[in-house]
Amino acid sequence: VDFGNPLETFRQVLAHEQHVTALIHDLYRLAQREDDHATAIMLQWFITEQVEEENNVGLVVGATHPEALARVRSLAPTCSAR
Instruction: Give the separation between CA 8 and CA 70, rounded to whole angstroms.
Output: 20
CA–centroid distance for 46 within its chain: 11
CB 13 within 8 A of CB 57: yes
Please tell me the predicted confidence (pLDDT) of residue 10.
85
Give this prediction's pTM.
0.71
The CA-atom distances, in angstroms, between 55 and each of 13, 37, 42, 65 are 12, 27, 21, 15
Please tell me the predicted confidence (pLDDT) of residue 79.
47
Please tell me the predicted confidence (pLDDT) of residue 71.
61
In tens digits, the chain (82 residues) has pLDDT values of: 677 778 888 888 889 999 999 999 999 999 999 999 999 999 999 999 998 898 888 888 875 556 655 665 665 554 444 4
